[in-house]
Amino acid sequence: METKKKVVIPRPKPLTSENDPLHIIKTRMVTHNRPATIAGPMVRYSKLPFRQICRDYNADIVYSPMILAREFVRNEHARQADFSRNSSDTPLIVQVGVNNVTDLLKFCEMVAPYCDGIGINCGCPIKEQIREGIGCALIYNPDLLSSMVRTVKEKYKDTLRLETKIRIHDDLDTTVELCRRVCDAGADWITIHGRTRRTRSSQPVNLDAIKYIISKIKDKNIPVVANGDCFQLSDVTRIADYTGANAVMAVRGLLENPALFSGYGRCPWGCIERFWYRTIEYTCLPFQLTQHHLFCMLENMQLSKSLLKELMSTKSLPEMLDWFEDNFELKRYGEKGFGERVEIPYIKIE
Amino acid sequence: MESLKIDDSNTDNEVFTKQNGKKDQAVTKPIAIDSTTGEVVVRKSTGKAKIRKGQSEEEYQNQLDHYFNVEKGPTITEDNWMDSIDPLDMLNDNIENDLSIKNVRHKLTSFCERYYYYKRYQECYNLAIKLREKYQAINKKNKMDREIEGLDYLIDKCILKGDIS
Protein backbone atom coordinates (compact mmCIF):
# COMPACT_ATOMS: atom_id res chain seq x y z
CA MET A 1 0.00 0.00 0.00
CA GLU A 2 1.26 3.43 -0.89
CA THR A 3 2.26 5.56 2.07
CA LYS A 4 0.95 9.09 1.82
CA LYS A 5 3.68 11.72 1.87
CA LYS A 6 3.60 13.92 4.95
CA VAL A 7 2.43 17.42 4.22
CA VAL A 8 5.01 20.18 4.43
CA ILE A 9 3.55 22.79 6.75
CA PRO A 10 4.68 26.39 6.18
CA ARG A 11 6.25 28.21 9.10
CA PRO A 12 4.37 30.97 10.92
CA LYS A 13 4.46 34.29 9.11
CA PRO A 14 7.67 36.16 10.07
CA LEU A 15 7.18 38.94 12.59
CA THR A 16 8.78 42.35 12.06
CA SER A 17 8.30 45.75 13.68
CA GLU A 18 5.70 46.43 10.99
CA ASN A 19 3.42 43.48 11.67
CA ASP A 20 4.28 42.17 15.14
CA PRO A 21 1.17 43.03 17.17
CA LEU A 22 3.04 42.78 20.46
CA HIS A 23 5.66 45.26 19.26
CA ILE A 24 2.94 47.62 18.06
CA ILE A 25 1.04 47.44 21.34
CA LYS A 26 4.20 48.09 23.31
CA THR A 27 5.56 50.95 21.20
CA ARG A 28 2.66 53.01 19.83
CA MET A 29 2.82 55.41 22.74
CA VAL A 30 6.49 56.13 22.02
CA THR A 31 6.24 56.22 18.22
CA HIS A 32 2.82 57.82 17.77
CA ASN A 33 2.20 59.45 21.15
CA ARG A 34 -1.02 57.48 21.60
CA PRO A 35 -2.09 54.01 22.66
CA ALA A 36 -2.35 51.34 19.99
CA THR A 37 -5.78 51.18 18.35
CA ILE A 38 -7.37 47.80 17.80
CA ALA A 39 -10.47 46.79 15.83
CA GLY A 40 -11.89 43.88 17.78
CA PRO A 41 -13.64 40.75 16.58
CA MET A 42 -17.34 40.72 15.71
CA VAL A 43 -19.15 37.54 14.82
CA ARG A 44 -19.97 37.70 11.09
CA TYR A 45 -18.93 41.32 10.67
CA SER A 46 -15.13 41.47 10.86
CA LYS A 47 -14.65 40.13 7.34
CA LEU A 48 -12.03 41.32 4.89
CA PRO A 49 -13.86 44.37 3.38
CA PHE A 50 -14.69 45.71 6.83
CA ARG A 51 -11.21 44.98 8.17
CA GLN A 52 -9.69 46.95 5.32
CA ILE A 53 -11.77 50.07 5.89
CA CYS A 54 -10.85 49.96 9.58
CA ARG A 55 -7.22 49.96 8.44
CA ASP A 56 -7.94 52.88 6.07
CA TYR A 57 -8.91 54.85 9.17
CA ASN A 58 -6.03 54.20 11.57
CA ALA A 59 -6.74 50.85 13.19
CA ASP A 60 -3.28 49.51 14.07
CA ILE A 61 -4.34 45.90 14.55
CA VAL A 62 -7.50 44.21 13.25
CA TYR A 63 -9.19 40.98 14.31
CA SER A 64 -11.02 38.41 12.22
CA PRO A 65 -14.40 37.16 13.43
CA MET A 66 -14.25 34.17 15.75
CA ILE A 67 -13.52 31.04 13.74
CA LEU A 68 -14.45 27.70 15.27
CA ALA A 69 -11.31 25.56 15.35
CA ARG A 70 -13.25 22.32 15.29
CA GLU A 71 -14.92 23.18 11.98
CA PHE A 72 -11.88 24.86 10.43
CA VAL A 73 -9.56 21.88 10.81
CA ARG A 74 -12.17 19.40 9.57
CA ASN A 75 -14.07 21.07 6.76
CA GLU A 76 -12.85 22.86 3.64
CA HIS A 77 -16.17 24.65 3.11
CA ALA A 78 -15.97 26.12 6.61
CA ARG A 79 -12.44 27.31 5.83
CA GLN A 80 -13.52 28.99 2.62
CA ALA A 81 -16.50 30.66 4.26
CA ASP A 82 -14.65 31.79 7.38
CA PHE A 83 -11.29 33.09 6.27
CA SER A 84 -10.19 35.13 3.29
CA ARG A 85 -7.35 37.60 3.25
CA ASN A 86 -4.98 39.58 1.07
CA SER A 87 -1.47 41.02 1.22
CA SER A 88 -2.55 44.28 2.88
CA ASP A 89 -4.63 42.52 5.53
CA THR A 90 -2.01 42.94 8.22
CA PRO A 91 -1.46 43.08 11.19
CA LEU A 92 -4.21 40.52 11.51
CA ILE A 93 -5.21 38.55 14.59
CA VAL A 94 -7.32 35.52 13.82
CA GLN A 95 -9.66 34.85 16.70
CA VAL A 96 -10.45 31.24 17.50
CA GLY A 97 -13.30 29.58 19.35
CA VAL A 98 -11.96 26.38 20.84
CA ASN A 99 -12.52 24.00 23.74
CA ASN A 100 -9.52 21.67 23.63
CA VAL A 101 -5.78 21.74 23.17
CA THR A 102 -5.69 19.35 20.21
CA ASP A 103 -7.97 21.41 17.98
CA LEU A 104 -6.14 24.59 18.97
CA LEU A 105 -2.75 23.17 17.99
CA LYS A 106 -4.12 22.04 14.64
CA PHE A 107 -5.77 25.40 14.07
CA CYS A 108 -2.52 27.25 14.83
CA GLU A 109 -0.65 25.02 12.41
CA MET A 110 -3.09 25.88 9.61
CA VAL A 111 -3.54 29.59 10.30
CA ALA A 112 -0.16 30.79 11.63
CA PRO A 113 1.44 31.11 8.16
CA TYR A 114 -1.25 33.58 7.13
CA CYS A 115 -1.76 35.91 10.09
CA ASP A 116 0.21 37.90 12.65
CA GLY A 117 -1.25 36.40 15.78
CA ILE A 118 -3.98 34.18 17.16
CA GLY A 119 -6.46 35.21 19.83
CA ILE A 120 -8.39 32.76 21.97
CA ASN A 121 -11.96 33.91 22.42
CA CYS A 122 -12.75 33.78 26.14
CA GLY A 123 -15.42 36.45 26.02
CA CYS A 124 -18.24 35.33 23.74
CA PRO A 125 -21.36 35.17 25.96
CA ILE A 126 -23.59 33.34 23.44
CA LYS A 127 -25.09 30.41 25.30
CA GLU A 128 -24.72 27.95 22.40
CA GLN A 129 -20.96 28.51 22.50
CA ILE A 130 -20.76 28.46 26.28
CA ARG A 131 -22.49 25.07 26.32
CA GLU A 132 -19.68 23.82 24.12
CA GLY A 133 -17.12 25.15 26.57
CA ILE A 134 -16.12 27.87 24.08
CA GLY A 135 -15.90 31.65 24.52
CA CYS A 136 -16.80 32.98 27.93
CA ALA A 137 -16.89 29.45 29.37
CA LEU A 138 -13.10 29.50 29.29
CA ILE A 139 -12.84 32.16 32.01
CA TYR A 140 -14.44 29.61 34.33
CA ASN A 141 -12.02 26.94 33.19
CA PRO A 142 -8.58 28.35 34.00
CA ASP A 143 -6.91 24.94 33.89
CA LEU A 144 -7.93 24.36 30.30
CA LEU A 145 -7.22 27.94 29.22
CA SER A 146 -3.73 28.02 30.70
CA SER A 147 -3.01 24.58 29.33
CA MET A 148 -4.01 25.73 25.82
CA VAL A 149 -1.85 28.86 26.07
CA ARG A 150 1.11 26.97 27.48
CA THR A 151 1.01 24.23 24.85
CA VAL A 152 0.89 26.67 21.94
CA LYS A 153 3.61 28.93 23.33
CA GLU A 154 5.88 26.01 24.18
CA LYS A 155 5.62 24.85 20.59
CA TYR A 156 5.92 28.19 18.81
CA LYS A 157 7.70 30.41 21.38
CA ASP A 158 8.13 33.92 19.93
CA THR A 159 7.38 32.89 16.35
CA LEU A 160 3.64 33.10 16.97
CA ARG A 161 1.80 35.70 19.03
CA LEU A 162 -0.99 34.38 21.21
CA GLU A 163 -3.59 36.53 22.95
CA THR A 164 -6.55 35.81 25.18
CA LYS A 165 -9.59 38.08 25.19
CA ILE A 166 -11.51 37.69 28.41
CA ARG A 167 -14.51 39.09 30.22
CA ILE A 168 -14.41 39.91 33.92
CA HIS A 169 -15.92 37.78 36.73
CA ASP A 170 -18.33 39.04 39.37
CA ASP A 171 -15.43 38.60 41.79
CA LEU A 172 -12.57 40.58 40.26
CA ASP A 173 -9.96 38.66 42.20
CA THR A 174 -11.01 35.57 40.27
CA THR A 175 -10.19 37.50 37.08
CA VAL A 176 -6.86 38.60 38.55
CA GLU A 177 -6.03 34.99 39.36
CA LEU A 178 -7.02 33.90 35.85
CA CYS A 179 -4.88 36.62 34.26
CA ARG A 180 -1.88 35.69 36.39
CA ARG A 181 -2.19 32.09 35.27
CA VAL A 182 -2.55 33.10 31.62
CA CYS A 183 0.55 35.31 31.97
CA ASP A 184 2.50 32.43 33.53
CA ALA A 185 1.41 30.17 30.68
CA GLY A 186 3.06 32.56 28.22
CA ALA A 187 0.30 34.65 26.63
CA ASP A 188 1.75 37.63 24.77
CA TRP A 189 -0.97 40.02 25.87
CA ILE A 190 -4.42 39.99 27.40
CA THR A 191 -7.48 41.89 26.24
CA ILE A 192 -9.99 42.62 28.98
CA HIS A 193 -13.60 43.43 28.18
CA GLY A 194 -14.86 45.24 31.26
CA ARG A 195 -18.18 43.42 31.40
CA THR A 196 -19.17 40.12 32.98
CA ARG A 197 -20.79 37.32 31.10
CA ARG A 198 -24.23 38.66 32.04
CA THR A 199 -23.63 42.41 31.68
CA ARG A 200 -25.69 43.84 28.85
CA SER A 201 -23.93 46.05 26.35
CA SER A 202 -26.38 48.82 27.28
CA GLN A 203 -24.76 48.95 30.72
CA PRO A 204 -21.55 50.96 30.87
CA VAL A 205 -18.23 49.15 30.79
CA ASN A 206 -16.52 48.73 34.17
CA LEU A 207 -13.26 50.60 33.64
CA ASP A 208 -12.50 50.43 37.36
CA ALA A 209 -12.43 46.66 37.03
CA ILE A 210 -9.91 46.82 34.19
CA LYS A 211 -7.82 49.30 36.16
CA TYR A 212 -7.90 47.03 39.22
CA ILE A 213 -6.87 43.95 37.27
CA ILE A 214 -4.04 45.79 35.51
CA SER A 215 -2.74 47.04 38.86
CA LYS A 216 -2.73 43.50 40.22
CA ILE A 217 -0.81 41.95 37.34
CA LYS A 218 1.69 44.76 36.79
CA ASP A 219 4.52 42.57 38.07
CA LYS A 220 3.89 40.15 35.20
CA ASN A 221 4.98 42.82 32.74
CA ILE A 222 2.52 41.82 30.07
CA PRO A 223 0.58 44.36 27.97
CA VAL A 224 -3.13 44.70 28.51
CA VAL A 225 -5.69 45.94 26.01
CA ALA A 226 -8.84 47.58 27.39
CA ASN A 227 -12.12 46.83 25.60
CA GLY A 228 -15.56 48.32 26.03
CA ASP A 229 -17.46 51.53 25.14
CA CYS A 230 -14.88 53.06 22.82
CA PHE A 231 -17.03 55.20 20.51
CA GLN A 232 -14.83 58.24 19.84
CA LEU A 233 -11.14 58.88 19.36
CA SER A 234 -11.14 60.78 22.67
CA ASP A 235 -12.29 57.55 24.36
CA VAL A 236 -9.03 55.86 23.33
CA THR A 237 -6.85 58.16 25.41
CA ARG A 238 -9.41 58.46 28.20
CA ILE A 239 -9.76 54.68 28.60
CA ALA A 240 -6.01 54.05 28.36
CA ASP A 241 -5.18 56.85 30.83
CA TYR A 242 -7.82 55.74 33.31
CA THR A 243 -7.10 52.03 33.25
CA GLY A 244 -3.37 52.04 32.53
CA ALA A 245 -3.91 49.83 29.48
CA ASN A 246 -1.34 49.79 26.66
CA ALA A 247 -3.94 49.75 23.93
CA VAL A 248 -7.67 50.19 23.40
CA MET A 249 -9.99 47.96 21.41
CA ALA A 250 -13.17 49.25 19.80
CA VAL A 251 -15.80 46.89 18.49
CA ARG A 252 -19.42 48.10 18.31
CA GLY A 253 -18.24 51.69 17.86
CA LEU A 254 -16.43 50.70 14.69
CA LEU A 255 -19.44 48.94 13.25
CA GLU A 256 -21.27 52.30 13.24
CA ASN A 257 -18.24 54.42 12.48
CA PRO A 258 -15.22 52.54 11.09
CA ALA A 259 -13.41 55.90 10.95
CA LEU A 260 -13.55 56.58 14.67
CA PHE A 261 -9.81 56.01 15.20
CA SER A 262 -9.16 58.80 12.67
CA GLY A 263 -11.05 61.26 14.82
CA TYR A 264 -14.33 61.40 12.90
CA GLY A 265 -17.18 61.93 15.33
CA ARG A 266 -19.57 60.39 12.81
CA CYS A 267 -19.01 58.01 9.96
CA PRO A 268 -17.79 60.05 6.96
CA TRP A 269 -19.30 59.53 3.51
CA GLY A 270 -15.90 58.48 2.19
CA CYS A 271 -16.11 55.44 4.40
CA ILE A 272 -19.32 54.37 2.63
CA GLU A 273 -17.63 54.69 -0.75
CA ARG A 274 -14.60 52.74 0.42
CA PHE A 275 -16.81 50.02 1.85
CA TRP A 276 -18.67 49.69 -1.44
CA TYR A 277 -15.38 49.39 -3.29
CA ARG A 278 -13.94 46.77 -0.94
CA THR A 279 -17.14 44.74 -0.95
CA ILE A 280 -17.25 44.68 -4.75
CA GLU A 281 -13.55 43.79 -5.02
CA TYR A 282 -13.38 41.07 -2.38
CA THR A 283 -16.76 39.43 -3.10
CA CYS A 284 -16.82 37.61 0.24
CA LEU A 285 -19.75 39.35 1.93
CA PRO A 286 -23.29 38.05 1.54
CA PHE A 287 -25.77 40.76 0.48
CA GLN A 288 -27.57 40.90 3.82
CA LEU A 289 -24.31 41.52 5.68
CA THR A 290 -23.31 44.29 3.27
CA GLN A 291 -26.72 45.85 3.71
CA HIS A 292 -26.45 45.71 7.50
CA HIS A 293 -22.99 47.28 7.49
CA LEU A 294 -24.26 50.16 5.34
CA PHE A 295 -27.34 50.52 7.55
CA CYS A 296 -25.17 50.86 10.68
CA MET A 297 -22.92 53.46 9.05
CA LEU A 298 -25.78 55.49 7.54
CA GLU A 299 -27.73 55.39 10.80
CA ASN A 300 -24.65 56.76 12.53
CA MET A 301 -24.60 59.54 9.92
CA GLN A 302 -28.18 60.31 10.98
CA LEU A 303 -29.78 59.44 7.67
CA SER A 304 -33.56 59.78 7.95
CA LYS A 305 -35.54 56.78 9.08
CA SER A 306 -37.55 56.75 5.86
CA LEU A 307 -34.38 56.43 3.77
CA LEU A 308 -32.99 53.78 6.09
CA LYS A 309 -36.22 51.86 5.62
CA GLU A 310 -35.87 52.14 1.86
CA LEU A 311 -32.29 50.87 2.09
CA MET A 312 -33.43 47.83 4.02
CA SER A 313 -36.16 47.09 1.49
CA THR A 314 -33.64 46.55 -1.33
CA LYS A 315 -33.33 42.90 -2.28
CA SER A 316 -29.97 42.55 -4.00
CA LEU A 317 -26.58 44.22 -4.28
CA PRO A 318 -27.31 45.83 -7.69
CA GLU A 319 -30.70 47.06 -6.45
CA MET A 320 -29.03 48.56 -3.38
CA LEU A 321 -26.41 50.18 -5.61
CA ASP A 322 -29.19 51.71 -7.71
CA TRP A 323 -30.83 53.01 -4.54
CA PHE A 324 -27.54 54.73 -3.65
CA GLU A 325 -27.35 56.18 -7.17
CA ASP A 326 -30.90 57.48 -6.92
CA ASN A 327 -30.32 59.23 -3.61
CA PHE A 328 -26.64 60.16 -3.34
CA GLU A 329 -23.61 60.94 -5.42
CA LEU A 330 -21.58 57.75 -4.98
CA LYS A 331 -18.05 57.94 -6.35
CA ARG A 332 -16.32 54.84 -7.62
CA TYR A 333 -12.71 53.91 -6.95
CA GLY A 334 -10.51 55.86 -9.34
CA GLU A 335 -12.86 58.86 -9.56
CA LYS A 336 -11.59 62.19 -8.28
CA GLY A 337 -12.51 62.69 -4.63
CA PHE A 338 -13.33 59.01 -4.07
CA GLY A 339 -13.42 58.15 -0.37
CA GLU A 340 -12.71 61.69 0.80
CA ARG A 341 -16.02 63.41 1.44
CA VAL A 342 -17.43 63.70 4.92
CA GLU A 343 -21.04 64.87 4.54
CA ILE A 344 -23.75 62.87 2.77
CA PRO A 345 -23.91 64.07 -0.88
CA TYR A 346 -27.69 63.98 -1.34
CA ILE A 347 -29.16 64.16 -4.80
CA LYS A 348 -32.80 64.44 -3.77
CA ILE A 349 -33.88 67.19 -1.40
CA GLU A 350 -35.70 65.52 1.45
CA MET B 1 -20.42 1.39 31.92
CA GLU B 2 -20.24 4.53 33.97
CA SER B 3 -22.25 7.36 32.44
CA LEU B 4 -20.43 10.54 31.48
CA LYS B 5 -20.92 13.53 33.70
CA ILE B 6 -20.09 17.17 33.20
CA ASP B 7 -17.87 18.76 35.79
CA ASP B 8 -20.09 21.17 37.69
CA SER B 9 -17.67 21.68 40.54
CA ASN B 10 -16.87 25.26 39.62
CA THR B 11 -18.27 27.56 42.28
CA ASP B 12 -18.98 30.27 39.73
CA ASN B 13 -21.17 27.79 37.97
CA GLU B 14 -23.36 27.42 41.04
CA VAL B 15 -23.48 31.16 41.54
CA PHE B 16 -24.65 31.68 37.97
CA THR B 17 -27.37 29.10 38.19
CA LYS B 18 -28.68 30.51 41.43
CA GLN B 19 -28.42 34.18 40.51
CA ASN B 20 -30.13 33.83 37.19
CA GLY B 21 -32.66 31.22 38.15
CA LYS B 22 -32.81 30.35 34.45
CA LYS B 23 -32.09 27.23 32.48
CA ASP B 24 -29.07 26.93 30.22
CA GLN B 25 -26.94 29.32 32.23
CA ALA B 26 -24.49 26.85 33.69
CA VAL B 27 -20.94 26.89 32.43
CA THR B 28 -19.70 23.85 30.60
CA LYS B 29 -16.31 22.41 31.27
CA PRO B 30 -15.64 20.05 28.38
CA ILE B 31 -14.10 16.74 29.36
CA ALA B 32 -11.30 15.59 27.10
CA ILE B 33 -11.83 11.91 26.29
CA ASP B 34 -8.99 11.45 23.83
CA SER B 35 -6.34 14.13 23.76
CA THR B 36 -4.82 12.76 20.54
CA THR B 37 -8.00 13.28 18.52
CA GLY B 38 -9.63 16.18 20.35
CA GLU B 39 -12.69 14.17 21.33
CA VAL B 40 -14.56 15.95 24.10
CA VAL B 41 -17.81 15.71 25.99
CA VAL B 42 -19.92 18.85 26.23
CA ARG B 43 -23.42 19.60 27.46
CA LYS B 44 -26.45 19.88 25.20
CA SER B 45 -29.23 22.41 25.86
CA THR B 46 -31.20 19.65 27.58
CA GLY B 47 -28.36 19.20 30.03
CA LYS B 48 -27.42 15.80 28.63
CA ALA B 49 -23.84 14.96 27.77
CA LYS B 50 -22.89 15.01 24.11
CA ILE B 51 -19.72 13.61 22.60
CA ARG B 52 -18.00 15.79 20.03
CA LYS B 53 -16.11 13.29 17.93
CA GLY B 54 -12.39 13.60 17.53
CA GLN B 55 -10.36 13.74 14.35
CA SER B 56 -7.90 10.95 13.65
CA GLU B 57 -4.35 11.74 12.58
CA GLU B 58 -5.09 10.33 9.14
CA GLU B 59 -8.15 12.55 8.69
CA TYR B 60 -6.14 15.56 9.81
CA GLN B 61 -3.31 14.78 7.41
CA ASN B 62 -5.86 14.60 4.59
CA GLN B 63 -7.22 18.01 5.58
CA LEU B 64 -3.69 19.44 5.77
CA ASP B 65 -2.89 18.04 2.36
CA HIS B 66 -6.04 19.54 0.87
CA TYR B 67 -5.60 22.88 2.65
CA PHE B 68 -1.96 23.50 1.79
CA ASN B 69 -1.68 21.69 -1.54
CA VAL B 70 -5.11 22.10 -3.15
CA GLU B 71 -6.67 25.15 -1.51
CA LYS B 72 -3.22 26.78 -1.21
CA GLY B 73 -4.17 28.22 2.17
CA PRO B 74 -6.98 30.70 2.76
CA THR B 75 -8.69 32.40 -0.17
CA ILE B 76 -6.72 35.44 -1.30
CA THR B 77 -8.61 38.34 -2.83
CA GLU B 78 -6.31 41.21 -3.73
CA ASP B 79 -7.71 44.45 -5.13
CA ASN B 80 -8.41 43.95 -8.85
CA TRP B 81 -7.96 40.16 -8.67
CA MET B 82 -10.92 39.83 -10.98
CA ASP B 83 -9.13 41.68 -13.76
CA SER B 84 -6.87 38.69 -14.32
CA ILE B 85 -9.73 36.24 -14.78
CA ASP B 86 -12.18 35.97 -17.65
CA PRO B 87 -15.44 34.80 -16.09
CA LEU B 88 -16.57 33.41 -19.43
CA ASP B 89 -13.65 30.95 -19.25
CA MET B 90 -14.96 29.83 -15.88
CA LEU B 91 -18.17 28.76 -17.53
CA ASN B 92 -16.42 25.91 -19.31
CA ASP B 93 -17.54 22.63 -17.87
CA ASN B 94 -15.06 21.35 -15.36
CA ILE B 95 -15.09 20.16 -11.79
CA GLU B 96 -13.49 23.27 -10.33
CA ASN B 97 -16.24 25.48 -11.65
CA ASP B 98 -19.19 23.23 -11.04
CA LEU B 99 -22.22 25.52 -11.25
CA SER B 100 -24.22 23.32 -8.94
CA ILE B 101 -21.98 24.63 -6.13
CA LYS B 102 -23.39 27.83 -4.68
CA ASN B 103 -19.96 29.36 -4.02
CA VAL B 104 -19.02 28.99 -7.69
CA ARG B 105 -22.24 30.69 -8.78
CA HIS B 106 -21.71 33.44 -6.20
CA LYS B 107 -18.23 34.06 -7.58
CA LEU B 108 -19.53 34.31 -11.15
CA THR B 109 -22.41 36.59 -10.20
CA SER B 110 -19.89 38.79 -8.39
CA PHE B 111 -18.22 39.48 -11.74
CA CYS B 112 -21.55 40.79 -13.04
CA GLU B 113 -22.01 42.94 -9.96
CA ARG B 114 -18.51 44.35 -10.33
CA TYR B 115 -19.15 45.27 -13.97
CA TYR B 116 -22.36 46.94 -12.87
CA TYR B 117 -20.59 48.88 -10.10
CA TYR B 118 -18.04 50.22 -12.59
CA LYS B 119 -20.84 51.00 -15.09
CA ARG B 120 -19.45 48.49 -17.58
CA TYR B 121 -22.98 47.68 -18.70
CA GLN B 122 -22.16 45.87 -21.94
CA GLU B 123 -19.85 43.37 -20.19
CA CYS B 124 -22.33 42.99 -17.36
CA TYR B 125 -25.12 42.30 -19.84
CA ASN B 126 -23.11 39.75 -21.83
CA LEU B 127 -22.13 37.78 -18.74
CA ALA B 128 -25.55 37.98 -17.09
CA ILE B 129 -27.22 36.61 -20.25
CA LYS B 130 -24.82 33.66 -20.31
CA LEU B 131 -25.16 33.01 -16.60
CA ARG B 132 -28.94 33.12 -16.75
CA GLU B 133 -28.94 30.51 -19.50
CA LYS B 134 -26.59 28.22 -17.53
CA TYR B 135 -28.41 28.72 -14.23
CA GLN B 136 -31.80 28.04 -15.77
CA ALA B 137 -30.52 24.75 -17.18
CA ILE B 138 -29.68 23.44 -13.71
CA ASN B 139 -32.46 25.11 -11.72
CA LYS B 140 -34.11 22.16 -10.02
CA LYS B 141 -37.18 22.69 -7.84
CA ASN B 142 -36.88 26.44 -8.40
CA LYS B 143 -34.09 26.63 -5.82
CA MET B 144 -32.14 29.13 -7.88
CA ASP B 145 -35.06 31.42 -8.68
CA ARG B 146 -33.70 34.23 -6.56
CA GLU B 147 -30.31 34.12 -8.24
CA ILE B 148 -31.95 34.12 -11.66
CA GLU B 149 -34.18 37.05 -10.66
CA GLY B 150 -31.02 38.91 -9.64
CA LEU B 151 -29.58 38.34 -13.11
CA ASP B 152 -32.86 39.43 -14.73
CA TYR B 153 -32.63 42.66 -12.74
CA LEU B 154 -29.10 43.27 -14.01
CA ILE B 155 -30.07 42.49 -17.62
CA ASP B 156 -33.05 44.87 -17.52
CA LYS B 157 -31.05 47.65 -15.90
CA CYS B 158 -28.11 47.27 -18.28
CA ILE B 159 -30.50 47.63 -21.22
CA LEU B 160 -31.96 50.72 -19.58
CA LYS B 161 -28.65 52.35 -18.66
CA GLY B 162 -26.19 51.22 -21.28
CA ASP B 163 -25.81 51.27 -25.01
CA ILE B 164 -26.25 47.51 -25.28
CA SER B 165 -25.54 45.84 -28.60
CATH numbers and ranges of domains, chain A: 21-262 (3.20.20.70), 266-350 (no CATH)
Same domain, B91 and B155: yes
Q: Residue A287's Cα: distance from chain center in Å? A: 21
Choosing among B14, B63, B112, which should be mutated to test the A contact, i.e. which has the most A CBs within 10 A?
A: B63
- pLDDT (tens, 9 = 90+) of chain A, 350 residues, equals 455 667 899 999 999 999 999 999 999 999 999 999 999 999 889 999 999 999 999 999 999 999 999 999 999 999 998 999 999 999 999 999 999 999 999 999 999 999 999 999 999 999 889 889 999 999 999 999 999 999 999 999 999 999 999 999 999 999 999 999 999 999 999 999 999 999 999 999 999 999 999 999 999 999 999 999 999 999 999 999 999 999 999 999 999 999 999 999 999 999 999 999 999 999 889 999 999 999 999 999 999 999 999 999 999 999 999 999 999 999 999 999 999 999 999 996 55
Domain tally for chain B?
Answer: 2
> Which chain B residues are closer than 8 Å to A136 by Cβ?
27
Please answer yes or no on whether A4 and B61 come within 8 Å at the CB atom: yes
Question: What is the C-alpha separation between A330 and A344, in angstroms, rounded?
Answer: 10
Closest residue in B to A325 (Cα) is: B117
Do residues B57 and B116 share a domain?
A: no
Residues B127 and B153 in one domain: yes
B141 and B71 within one domain: no
Same domain assignment for residues B44 and B69: yes
Q: Which of B19, B65, B110 shows the shortest C-beta gap to A7?
A: B65
Is A193 annotated in a binding site? The answer is: yes
**Is residue B17 pLDDT above 50, yes or no?**
no
Same domain, B110 and B87: yes
Ranking A143-152, A269-278, B98-107, B147-156 by mean pLDDT, the lowest is B98-107
**Predicted ipTM > 0.95:** no
Q: Is A77 annotated for ligand binding?
A: no
Residue B158 maps to a domain: yes
Q: DSSP for A295-334?
A: HHHHHHTT--HHHHHHHHH--SHHHHHHHHHHHB--PPTT
> Is B85 in the same domain as B55?
no
Residue B42 domain-assigned? yes
Within-domain flag for B61: yes
Same domain for B106 and B135, yes or no, is: yes
CB contact under 8 A, A140 and B45: no
Residue B18 within any structural domain of the chain: no
- Examine the fold and report which residue of B48, B75, B102 is the final residue of a domain before the chain moves on: B75
Active site residues of A: 124
Task: Indicate whether B85 and B100 sit together in one domain.
Answer: yes
What is the span of the domain harbouring residue B65?
A: 29-75
Interchain proximity A10–B68, CB inside 8 Å: yes
Check pLDDT > 70 for residue B9.
no
Q: Are residues B95 and B146 in the same domain?
A: yes
Q: Which of residues 259-318 of A touch B (CB under 8 A)?
A: 276, 280-284, 316-318
Chain B residues touching A318 at Cβ < 8 A: 113, 116, 150, 153-154, 157
Q: How far apart are CA A285 and CA A275, in angstroms?
A: 11
Whether B74 has its CB under 8 Å from any CB of chain A: the answer is: yes
CB A189 within 8 A of CB A45: no
Give the integer Cα–Cα distance in Å for A63 and A120.
11
Q: Mapping DSSP to helix (H, G, I), strand (E, B) and coil, where does residue A162 land? A: strand
Chain A neighbors of B81, CB-CB under 8 A: 281
What is the pTM (predicted TM-score) of this model?
0.92
Q: Are residues B70 and B91 in the same domain?
A: no
Min CA distance, A238 vs chain B (Å)?
Answer: 32
Residue A113 annotated as binding site:
no
